[in-house]
Amino acid sequence: MASSTDHTSEHQHLGTTTADKLFIAFLVLVVAAVTLLGVVNYKEAIKVETSKSNGEAWVAWLTETGTTRFEADSQHPACKGGVKPAADAKAGTPGTWGACLAHILETTELKDQINPFFNVAPHFVAACDPKDRTLMGAILLEDLMPTPPGSATPFVASQLVETDAIDYKMQLRLSVCDKGGYAVKVAEFEF
Amino acid sequence: MNTTTKQDKFLEDLDVKSILGQDEEANIDRNLPMRKWLYSWLLDPNIPGNFQKELDKWISYLIIGNLFSLMFEHVPAVYEPYRTWFELFDIFSVAVFTVEYALRLYLAPEDEEFKNRKNARFGFVTSPFAIIDFLAVAPFYLKAFIPIDLRVLRFLRLLRILKLFRVLIPALAEFKELNKGRTFRQKVHALVFPSNYGGTMQHIFEVFIGVWVILSVMAVILESVKSINYILHLQFVILDAVAVAIFTVEYCMRMYSCVEEPGYKGAFLGRFKQAKNPSTFIDFLAILPFFLEVFLHHLIDLRFLRVFRLARLLKLTRGSDATAVLVKVVVREWPVMGAATFIMMLLLVLTASLGYLFEYDAQPEKFENIPTSIYWAVITLASVGYGDISPVTPMGRAMTSVLALLGIGIFAIPAALLASAFSDELVKERDQLKANLFAILKDGHISESEAAIIRAEAKRLHLTVEEVNKLIEVVIKEHELEERNPLPIHKIAENPALAVEHYKVLLGQIRQLGVQVNAAQFDQAAQQGERLSANEFALWQKIQGKA
């Protein structure tokens, strides 16, 4: 066992010395600095949480709409299922994701969403990239296409782009890019 | 001769359990009145071996459990699915705290603090500790009569943590008493470094740091589980910041007060030496990733640094003697292990080269070059055999068969060396304890400081009461032999059993000499002017387990 030295024979100043006071001040400074950095980290984490909430709101809306969009009296005609667009359809043509997205961003509460990292509306990206800092808080929406039986992977994920047809029951995956630029999966759902 | 008899009697009457602090059978009279009897068993802090310490310990655990429960209640994803369990835990906690409160109230007239007051129970109810205890349970009952906001209720439940003061305040008082007349820096030292001045407070400090180490390491592990990190990301961030704040303060306290440690004198040099110390370096590594990530995350991706937070687990090795023994053994056996490693490396390169030679033509994509073949050689020699690369030529297979068998032996050498060195170290340390016991028992009296040494050594070597008893028996025998008039050698030689015992005693004395003497100085003195012949010196080395 290590033992403390007993300095009883030495001359000692039993109150707090200047060095002690400096140490206490340094300790307070260190605690304040760590607290400050902790608060910075917390604020950044809150931004990630807000981005996740944005993603969750999209998932909730798309999941809910997905249950009724194949019905005749669907509330959101731009997102209606079963409407097959032409093979060379452009973004905005009925039956494409572009038309549905435009409708969502014009008429639903999702249009008011804010990307907390840049204070602008979140945008859809092809992939999250840790090297690209402009992607923080962006949304990644992927179409999960099932692969033939016996394949090594059960499905192939590709970004849902505006010209993609949405006439069929789709399996989607929504992720958001965190502050490090990594994808955080929010949910996989049917649309 | 009379003295010897008295000493023998003393040695026979030794209560090892008591010396080792394991005399946990409290001596409480069964015929005491019920209240007094109950108080003696459950709450009296002055009766060793009763349940007071255990009770305090388990109540403390329950308080910490309550704190965690309260934390997780703020996470809907955790709280909602397990709401019933959380509620049941709260009911259980309140029940335990209520019983504790009622018990303390009932037994207050037996408590030294309140028994002399006019109304002991009123004195208890108005005491600070009792008010805290009351506040810990009152909100639970209050909500049955008055609708209370859930947030207020949770805040009031947070007050349960104040119950920990029942343990902390006596420890603090003891710490103050132990450090009376000492400087501020010495007090800081007593708190963070093990010493005779730390008392219970130092133990609480170590437990506190240990709990935070475990918590933060668990958080790092759970963070890697995406589904958990998704739910608890914010909580992990807060926990990490709090852990870093605690570890940083601890690091600063160690660096500031280390100059009080023997061998660390000097405001700069002492601290520099402390900073280079492996355990302090680990402390530094435990906090570094946090600061680097905060300051540099805009420049480079420092996510990989998070794994280094697991280095915090190494902080726990500070209190582990096993780690110290391991380091000692590895350092001592380093030359031999180095030789074994050299042979291993030699075999590895040869195997890889031969594998490349025999297999390249048949499998150029697998045995592409010698560095690639080294991977195959390691996997083969270490008897792992993943099978992703395997020889196909007859020569390659024949060589692999031989090398796989060789590998078993070669790779086992370091393990065997370590095991044997561990065993030697244990024998040495026990011999050291035996030597200490011999010196301690010589005067026929065990002082409190000597008992403390025995306790510390027995704890360090993980010796049971029976093992210490056995050692003491051996020491008693040696004492007896020492005290008796020594028989002449020819008389001893007449009785083979006695001769064997005499031989064992002599060997034991040589071992004790080896443990107590400075080995380097002894070796130097023995070889100077050829005081010992080569054979004599070799025999000495053998007895000391060095040859």
Beta strands A139-146; A155-159: pairing state: antiparallel
Q: Which of B54-58, B120-124, B305-309, B420-424 has the lowest mean pLDDT?
A: B305-309
Interface of B with A (CB under 8 A): 181-186, 189-190, 193-197, 226, 230, 233-234, 237-238, 240-242, 244-245, 248-249, 252-253, 256, 260-262, 290-291, 294, 297-298, 301, 303, 456
Of B352, B382, B381, B379, which is closest to residue B367 (Cα–Cα)? B352
Question: Per-residue pLDDT tens for A48-71?
Answer: 999 999 999 999 999 998 888 888
A155 bridge partner residues: A146
Question: Per-residue pLDDT tens for A105-150?
Answer: 888 888 889 999 999 989 889 889 888 888 999 999 998 888 887 7
In chain B, pLDDT over 90 holds for what percent of residues? Answer: 18
Closest Cβ opposite residue A4 in set B230, B260, B298: B260
CA A84 to chain B, closest CA, distance in angstroms equals: 36
Task: Say yes or no to pLDDT of B370 above 60.
Answer: yes
- A11 to chain B: nearest residue by CA? B183
pLDDT of residue B248: 93
Set of chain A residues whose Cβ sits within 8 Å of the Cβ of B294: 37, 40-41
Pairwise CB contact (< 8 Å): A34 & B256: no
Task: Say yes or no to pLDDT of A6 above 50.
Answer: no
Pairwise CB contact (< 8 Å): A180 & B226: no
CA B425 to chain A, closest CA, distance in angstroms equals: 18
Pairwise CB contact (< 8 Å): B234 & A45: yes
Pairwise CB contact (< 8 Å): B261 & A5: yes
Under 8 Å between Cβ of A165 and A95: yes
* Three-state DSSP class for residue B517: coil
Residue A90 CB: number of other CB atoms within 10 A? 12
**pLDDT level of residue B5 (50, 70, 90 thresholds):** low
CA A74 to chain B, closest CA, distance in angstroms equals: 32
Pairwise CB contact (< 8 Å): B185 & A31: no
**What is the overall mean pLDDT for chain B?**
83
Pairwise CB contact (< 8 Å): B245 & A20: no
Instruction: Provide the residue type at B40 as one letter.
Output: S
Does A185 reach chain B within 8 Å, measured CB to CB?
yes
Q: Which site among B184, B247, B258, B459 would you substitute to test the A interface, given the most A Cβ atoms closer than 10 Å to its Cβ?
A: B184
A89: Cβ–Cβ under 8 A, 6 or more apart, which residues?
A95, A96, A163, A165
CA B331 to chain A, closest CA, distance in angstroms equals: 21
**Concatenated DSSP letters for B87-116?**
HHHHHHHHHHHHHHHHHHHHHGGGSTTTTT
Does A105 reach chain B within 8 Å, measured CB to CB?
no
* H or E stretch at B312: none
Under 8 Å between Cβ of B315 and B286: yes
Under 8 Å between Cβ of B355 and B367: yes
Pairwise CB contact (< 8 Å): A182 & B185: no
Does A22 reach chain B within 8 Å, measured CB to CB?
no
**pLDDT level of residue A14 (50, 70, 90 thresholds):** low
Q: How far apart are CA B250 and CA B252, in angstroms?
A: 5
Under 8 Å between Cβ of B418 and B329: yes
Task: Say yes or no to pLDDT of B483 above 80.
Answer: no
pLDDT of residue B282: 85
Task: Say yes or no to pLDDT of B336 above 70.
Answer: yes
Closest Cβ opposite residue B252 in set A14, A30, A131: A30
Q: How far apart are CA B514 and CA B539, in angstroms?
A: 12
* Three-state DSSP class for residue A150: coil
Q: How far apart are CA B209 and CA B314, in angstroms?
A: 12
Pairwise CB contact (< 8 Å): B237 & A180: no
**pLDDT level of residue B297 (50, 70, 90 thresholds):** low
**pLDDT level of residue B92 (50, 70, 90 thresholds):** very high
Closest Cβ opposite residue A40 in set B196, B197, B294: B294
pLDDT of residue B525: 87
CA B65 to chain A, closest CA, distance in angstroms equals: 25
Closest Cβ opposite residue A38 in set B241, B298, B456: B241
Under 8 Å between Cβ of B238 and B216: no
Which tokens in the block code for residue B484? 């008796």
Which tokens in the block code for residue B382? 């270490």
pLDDT of residue B115: 84
* CB under 8 A, 24+ apart: contacts of B353-358: B354/B399, B355/B391, B355/B396, B355/B399, B355/B400, B358/B391, B358/B393, B358/B395, B358/B396, B358/B399
* H or E stretch at A122: none
Q: How far apart are CA A186 and CA A174, in angstroms?
A: 6
* CB under 8 A, 24+ apart: contacts of B175-181: B175/B199, B175/B200, B175/B201, B175/B202, B181/A8, B181/A14
pLDDT of residue B138: 84
Q: How far apart are CA B297 and CA B304, in angstroms?
A: 11
Of A38, A189, A4, which is closest to residue B179 (Cα–Cα)? A4
**pLDDT level of residue A9 (50, 70, 90 thresholds):** very low
Pairwise CB contact (< 8 Å): B186 & A1: no
Task: Say yes or no to pLDDT of B15 above 80.
Answer: no
The HSE-up count of residue A94 (CA atoms within 13 Å, CB side) is 8
pTM beyond cutoff 0.80: no
Q: How far apart are CA A165 and CA B120, in angstroms?
A: 83
Question: Per-residue pLDDT tens for B395-419?
Answer: 999 988 888 888 888 778 888 888 8
Q: Read off the DSSP letter of residue A4.
A: P
User: Exposed (0-12), middle (13-18) or buried (19+): which is A69, by Cβ within 10 Å?
Assistant: buried
CA B217 to chain A, closest CA, distance in angstroms equals: 18
Does A176 reach chain B within 8 Å, measured CB to CB?
no
Does A168 reach chain B within 8 Å, measured CB to CB?
no
* Three-state DSSP class for residue B189: helix
